[in-house]
Chain A
Amino acid sequence: MPKIWIADDDEAIRMVLEEGLKSDELEISTFSDGESLIDALNSDKPDLIISDIKMPGMHGYDLLKHIKNNFEKLPVIIMTAFTDMQAAIDAYGGGAFEYIPKPFDLEEAILTVNKALEEHHEIGGAS
């Protein structure tokens, strides 16, 4: 069963995404900051990460860099207001990743997530 990890310091957004994505075919975990997600990566690995950019403590950019350096093939979806997008792309070194602009439309967000999971699956995935 594909695993999706969501990092966002906003509880409302974690709840909404979790509820919106929830299905029998997905296993969803949420994290309120980047550090706890990286900790969890020591013992497990998701199929997709959805992360906010602005979070207290570890910044979303650093989380992106960490993932890119250690798990290159792990797909990441960035969630942010559009103004942060260019900065996010720059930080990631132009790497390919999806993004969901905030505020998102839940239906569109779900489509983006499913698409990313499918593509990852076709490529053969890292898992």
Chain B
Amino acid sequence: MNTSDFQAFDHLNTEIIILDAQSFEIVGINDAAKAANWIGESPRFDGQKISSLLEEETGQQFNKILIKTRANTGSVTKRDFEITYLSGLTRTIDLTITFSDKKNLIFIEAVSIDNLNKIIDSTRSFSTQKIAAGLARTLAHEVKNPLSGIKGSAQILKTKYVDDFSTKFLKIIEEETDRLNEIVTRILTPAKKPTFEYFNLHESLQRVLALSNAETQDGLSIERDYDPSIPEIYGDKNLFIQALINVTQNAVHACTNFAEKPQLGIQTKVSYRQPINGTIHNTLAEIIISDNGPGINPEIEDQIFFPMISGKENGSGIGLSISQDIVRIHGGAISFERKDGQTIFSILIPISNTNIQGAKSA
């Protein structure tokens, strides 16, 4: 294979490295692989063994896979493969290694999944979360029965004991029962069947800002950074707005209550080739909502999308779990990170794919 043949691979997003099948020396490497630091700073790769680019242990592991692939004259795929370069940099990749008997070459294809570890993790716990949500619903339902008894009893006593003292405390029993009922009702409210249509993302974001009262907060500066090239999104507009309101309200609450100069950031951009729930999507819209509040309490960090987990005083913990449900209905994923004093929520929605996953199962 000569250099000009190889240049065609430079247009791919997948990292490709081609080895001599006997010596495991590199004969070709595309731009994506170079960008992903496979050969480090060194401009020359000809004749370098692939193992010499990697830290010793990874190198040995890699050689074993190469030998196995060659022996089986086939193809090997490794998911979540962790490689450490000689420089010490570690990445997690999906790896496919194919041996071509005829050409006596080995093709290495790699797709980075590093930046989406969080999303992949969250899909891993998807079934756990489903069980937890089911338990929450059952619990909420069971709570309604005794509430009837408590409230009814208070109401009966109220007709019998009309003095100020009794009235005062019976009223508390009644009101607190109503409050409990409101909380469990929010958990139980059945998800409306989504109606999918094409809608403009940025118009929806304007609604989100208006409805979450972000624009009327004193001293809150809002920074918008919209990518006008994002095409219309196929989804349930109202549900989508609700999902974003929940995230935005949290952000507004966090920074206006705790930051000296509260800042809210709303950004949209196009993102490419991101895996969600095991499928790699070519084109996605990403909505990033950030605030300079104190961030999420590390103790609940990995549970914030569960129902009934809240960092806010009097929070019901239902908002983000609803947001996640809605984002999933759209085949997307929601994740967050803390970076440079900012709490950053990212919502990814596939836009290339009208056959939205999850819409059927929702």
Residues of A within 8 A of B (CB): 10, 12-13, 15-17, 19-20, 79, 81-83, 102-107, 109
- Is chain A's binding surface mostly helix, strand, loop or mixed? helix
Residues of B within 8 A of A (CB): 137, 141, 144-153, 155-156, 177, 181, 185, 188, 190
Our pick among B146, B152, B188 for the contact of A104 (Cβ within 8 Å) is B152
- Of chain A, the residue at the smallest CB distance from B152 is A16
If A16-B149, A20-B156 are given as contacts, then 13 extra A-B residue pairs at C-beta distance below 8 Å, sorted by A number, are A12-B146, A12-B149, A12-B152, A12-B153, A16-B153, A19-B156, A81-B188, A82-B188, A83-B137, A102-B144, A103-B150, A106-B155, A106-B156
Roughly how many angstroms separate A103 CA and B146 CA in the complex, as a whole number? 8
Q: List 23 A-B contacts (CB under 8 A).
A: A10-B146, A10-B149, A12-B146, A12-B148, A12-B149, A12-B152, A13-B149, A16-B148, A16-B149, A16-B152, A16-B153, A16-B155, A16-B156, A19-B156, A81-B145, A83-B188, A103-B145, A103-B148, A103-B150, A103-B152, A105-B151, A105-B155, A107-B155
- Is chain B's binding surface mostly helix, strand, loop or mixed? helix
Roughly how many angstroms separate A102 CA and B156 CA in the complex, as a whole number? 17
Roughly how many angstroms separate A76 CA and B141 CA in the complex, as a whole number? 22
- Of chain A, the residue at the smallest CB distance from B160 is A19
Question: Given A16-B156, A105-B155, do A82 and B185 touch, yes or no (CB 8 Å)?
Answer: yes
Our pick among A17, A19, A102 for the contact of B145 (Cβ within 8 Å) is A102
Residues of chain B with a CB closer than 8 A to A79's CB: 148
Roughly how many angstroms separate A103 CA and B141 CA in the complex, as a whole number? 10
